[in-house]
Amino acid sequence: MPHLRKIGDEISKPLRRHDSALDYLPTQYISDYIKSAGFAGIEYKSTMCKSGVNFAIFDDTLLECIETKSYDIESLAYEYNPFEK
C-alpha cells in the first residue's frame, strides 16, 4: 500500500511552470502501463479540493456528458511554503 499511495501522490501533483517535462515522465509511464493492462482510467486525489478526486479516462467514448454547469469564481485562497531547490 505505501507504494500505491506514493504513486497516487505523484500522479496528483500539478506541474509547475519551472518543472521540466521530464518530471512528468514517470507518471506518464505508469499511466500508460495501467492503460495497457486494460483499465479504463485512473482515479487520483484532487490538488484543489482535499476531499475531491479527479479521473483520467483513457477512452472518452466510454462516457457521455449529460450535464454541464458554469461557475463565476469569486475568490481563491492559496497556501504556500518556501521552495528549496
Q: What is the pTM of this model?
A: 0.59
- Taking only the tens place, the pLDDT of each residue in 17-62 is 676 766 677 778 888 988 999 999 988 888 777 788 888 899 989 9
Within a domain: residue 29? yes
Residue 15: predicted pLDDT: 65
Within a domain: residue 75? no
Within a domain: residue 74? no
Within a domain: residue 71? no
Within a domain: residue 80? no
Within a domain: residue 12? yes
Domains contained in the chain, number: 1
Is 28 or 68 the better-scoring residue by pLDDT?
68
2-8: long-range contacts, CB 8 A cutoff, minimum separation 24 = 8/44, 8/45
Residue 26 lies in domain: 2-57
Within a domain: residue 77? no
Residue 28: predicted pLDDT: 83
Within a domain: residue 83? no
